[in-house]
Chain A
Amino acid sequence: AQSVTQLDSQVPVFEEAPVELRCNYSSSVSVYLFWYVQYPNQGLQLLLKYLSGSTLVKGINGFEAEFNKSQTSFHLRKPSVHISDTAEYFCAVSDRSSTLTFGKGTMLLVSP
């Protein structure tokens, strides 16, 4: 069984400030890790993914994440956020079955 923990349900931040959204996972097998973003009244959009290889993964919209196997973490970062980054962010884990297990989500609130 696998699970994902997003410790922060909401992260408020000012525009142009850096942000980190935390994600920890547990799994008994090798996993694949994802971050999805959901803007209001929309579906989920893939931000980035870790399948193998380099532990630092770059995604769309200036986001990046680092896979840390020893700490079982996959935190999402952005050096400078914009108002338009306001959205719900979901961390997800998949095993070989390709089904996704989602965290509860973190609402990123960017204010001017």
Chain B
Amino acid sequence: DTEVTQTPKHLVMGMTNKKSLKCEQHMGHRAMYWYKQKAKKPPELMFVYSYEKLSINESVPSRFSPECPNSSLLNLHLHALQPEDSALYLCASSQGPGLSHEQYFGPGTRLTVT
């Protein structure tokens, strides 16, 4: 099973709302990633969790708050977002640093901030 699942598929939220994106994998991977993708652009790395600890934060604004409750789950908590945060948010996983380099991506959550 090489599947990464993400919920919800679509999310519309106002600038004062609080919402969360969820990502799950059952491949035993120990590295998980959040990416942001704008239309017709490549994915931009936001966060990396390695062995359930935050290892990379690509200077992401604090209105995005990641959480890794266990090795299979990754959340992205959203609060006070701006319209320019509207994008496709992709989750990915890999075996872990130095173990394997290919990342497996979920289908994404299409976020619209109104």
Let me know if A94 and B105 touch, CB within 8 A: no
Given B31, B43, B96, B104, which contacts A102 in the complex, CB threshold below 8 Å?
B43
**With A and B bound together, what is the CA distance between A96 and B92 in angstroms?**
17
Is A56 an interface position by the 8 A CB rule? no
Let me know if A98 and B43 touch, CB within 8 A: no
Q: Closest residue of chain B to A32, judged by CB?
A: B101
Interface size of B by CB at 8 A reads 27
Q: Closest residue of chain A to B58, judged by CB?
A: A99
16 A-B residue pairs with Cβ-Cβ distance under 8 Å, sorted by A, are A34-B102, A36-B105, A41-B110, A43-B4, A43-B90, A45-B105, A46-B102, A51-B101, A88-B40, A90-B42, A98-B94, A98-B101, A99-B56, A102-B43, A104-B42, A105-B41
Q: A43-B106, A43-B108 are in contact. List 20 more A-B contacts (CB 8 A).
A: A36-B105, A42-B107, A43-B90, A44-B92, A44-B105, A46-B102, A46-B103, A46-B104, A49-B101, A49-B102, A51-B101, A90-B43, A94-B101, A96-B98, A98-B94, A98-B98, A99-B45, A99-B56, A102-B42, A103-B42
